[in-house]
Amino acid sequence: MSLSAAGRAQPVPRRPDFGNVECPWSNSFDRGLASVTEWKWLDLKGTTPLAVRSGRHDRTDSGFLAFSSVTYGDLDGDGRDEAAVDLIRGSGGSATWHYLYVFRIEGAMPKPIALLRSGSRANGGLTGVAIDNRVLILEFNDPDFRTADCCSDGFIRVRYKYDGARFIETPPRVKGLRQK
């Protein structure tokens, strides 16, 4: 509980369990996945719910989706946190991609507002998520500094602002080498 300005106890909002959530999904998200080397915002229109339970969804075709992390912060300026939920898409082999869902938290049921798919591992794979001052900050592996299929010594940091309908990149992109 927290206190309101009048001193009355106010309930602290509960955060959803993102290890058990319905995520919008379309099989088109996986089309050409093996050659995906860039991150991209995907269209949520025409999707159907995909159930992640106990942090995982095993695909009937191949591979899986698994809960990785959640980052909270106010992205739209309404004083309430949104959630950036990172799900890892594994192929059943060594390749992995990240699907970053952004949810508006409305009561017990989070509402998806955006979805970003990353490249695979060293080829633009998502490595970090932060929310600061209404900005979604994402860090990706830089393929120009790739050391193997899995790894890169470099990063690309990209900032996005939410305009109420979509995320818009706010330049400049920052490229650098990771500290060893």
- Please check whether residue 161 is in contact with residue 171, taking contact to mean a CB–CB distance below 8 angstroms: no
For every residue of 58-111, DSSP letters joined together read E-SSS-EEEEEEEEEE-SSSSSS-EEEEEEEEE-SSS-EEEEEEEEEEETTEEE
Q: Kindly give, in sequence order, each residue whose CB lies less than 8 Å from that of residue 131, ignoring residues fewer than 6 positions away.
A: 71, 72, 73, 74, 75, 82, 84, 137
- Please check whether residue 72 is in contact with residue 81, taking contact to mean a CB–CB distance below 8 angstroms: yes
Residue pLDDT, tens place only, 65-77: 999 999 999 999 9
If you search the block for the tokens 């490229």, which residue do you land on?
175
Provide Rg for the chain, Cα atoms. Answer: 17
Residue pLDDT, tens place only, 63-120: 899 999 999 999 999 999 999 999 999 887 788 899 999 999 987 779 999 999 998 8
Distance of CA 62 to the CA centre of its chain: 21
Quick one: which of 63, 46, 44, 52 has its CA closest to 22? 52
133, two tokens? 């001052």
Secondary structure (3-state) at 9? strand
Residue pLDDT, tens place only, 143-163: 999 998 889 999 999 999 999
> Which whole number is the average pLDDT over 33-44?
85
Q: Please state the pTM of the whole predicted model.
A: 0.88
Q: DSSP character for 18?
A: T
If you search the block for the tokens 């001193």, which residue do you land on?
7
- Please check whether residue 89 is in contact with residue 56, taking contact to mean a CB–CB distance below 8 angstroms: no
Residue 4 in this model has a pLDDT that exceeds 90:
no
pLDDT averaged over every residue in the chain? 88
- Alpha-carbon span 99 to 89, nearest angstrom: 7
